[in-house]
Amino acid sequence: MYAFDFVRPATVEEAVAALATDEAQALGGGQTLIPTLKQRLASPGTLVSLTGIAAMKGVAMQGDRLAIGGGTPHAVVAREAARAYPTLAALAGHIGDPAVRNRGTIGGSLANNDPSADYPAGALASGATIVTNTREIAADDYFQGMFTTALEPGEIITEVRFPVPERANYQKFLQPASRFALVGVFVAKFAGGVRVAVTGASQDGAFRWSDAEAALSADFRPEAIAGLAADPDGMIGDLHGSPEYRAHLIGVLTRRAVAAAA
């Protein structure tokens, strides 16, 4: 590690002001940033901790949407969203290990946009809205590639709003060491159709599988996508699995998710 300044603002306004200084970096739960600092892959002059902002924490229903503060830890989402949106709560409850779930935050995960993270699939499949200190961003517009989002410098995720589907399920084939998704598929059925989001498979990060969405919107059964196959082009290939293997898993996990949701 190296020397840097550390500030812990109590309000979003104070955090925005602190991030406006040169070489400042927002710090959520630190589950990605701290290891990055230890490896000297990042060198901010100031860390602006968001953990002291009470207004960015909590889980509550707002009309027909589940609103989750950007600074809410995964473990709190797993516990407090269980009644309103059990599939999302289950997703949060299987992120990493207990230490990660008690420190990592939903806003930090979405801001980092790791290509194998769980929340991006949940946000995309749910048609969530990412709320920042300046605007609201639809999930379909928010994710823009590996570790890339629509966030501008100094912009903070203050809340995430999830429409609650009629039925949903998340299936995750995890990498045992990291507990990241080797492939994860989130299926959400709404009155207007079905949304299917995939994480862990593509080099560009989470994406929607439109062919499966069309088939399942017409017939919400695993058999409806029996003849569909995801395109391996652009999929991640590493020591854990080839692009073809990941493409195959997408189909397998989507069928399992539909069966579990139905």
Q: Which of 163, 186, 205 is the last residue of a domain?
A: 163
Integer-rounded Cα Rg, in Å, for the chain is 18
* CB contact at 8 A, 184 and 119: no
User: Domain tally for the chain?
Assistant: 3
Q: What are the tens digits of pLDDT across the range 54-93? A: 999 999 999 999 999 999 999 999 999 999 999 999 999 9
Regarding whether 78 and 133 lie in a shared domain, the answer is yes
Structure tokens at 159: 């809340």
Regarding whether 96 and 37 lie in a shared domain, the answer is no
Regarding whether 129 and 193 lie in a shared domain, the answer is no
Regarding whether 151 and 81 lie in a shared domain, the answer is yes
Q: Which of 104, 138, 163 is the last residue of a domain?
A: 163
Reported confidence tier of residue 1, pLDDT bands at 50, 70, 90: low
Alpha-carbon distance values, 42 to 16, 31, 37, 223, 231 (Å): 20, 14, 5, 47, 35
Name the pTM for this structure. 0.95
For residue 260, the model assigns a pLDDT of 98
CATH number at 221 reads 3.30.390.50
Q: How many CB atoms lie within 10 A of CB 59?
A: 22
Summarize the confidence of residues 226-245 as an average pLDDT. 95
- Amino acid letter, residue 218: A
CATH number at 127 reads 3.30.465.10
Regarding whether 139 and 66 lie in a shared domain, the answer is yes
Regarding whether 214 and 193 lie in a shared domain, the answer is yes
For residue 3, the model assigns a pLDDT of 82
Regarding whether 76 and 32 lie in a shared domain, the answer is no
Provide the H-helix boundaries in the chain: 12-19, 33-38, 74-80, 86-93, 98-103, 106-112, 119-126, 139-142, 210-218, 243-261
Helix 119-126, helix 86-93: angle, nearest 10: 170
Regarding whether 173 and 134 lie in a shared domain, the answer is no
Regarding whether 38 and 71 lie in a shared domain, the answer is no
For residue 158, the model assigns a pLDDT of 98
For residue 176, the model assigns a pLDDT of 86
Regarding whether 92 and 180 lie in a shared domain, the answer is no
Q: Which of 131, 163, 195 is the last residue of a domain?
A: 163
Percent residues over pLDDT 70 in the chain: 100
Range of the domain at 221: 167-261
Regarding whether 239 and 204 lie in a shared domain, the answer is yes
pLDDT averaged over the chain? Answer: 95
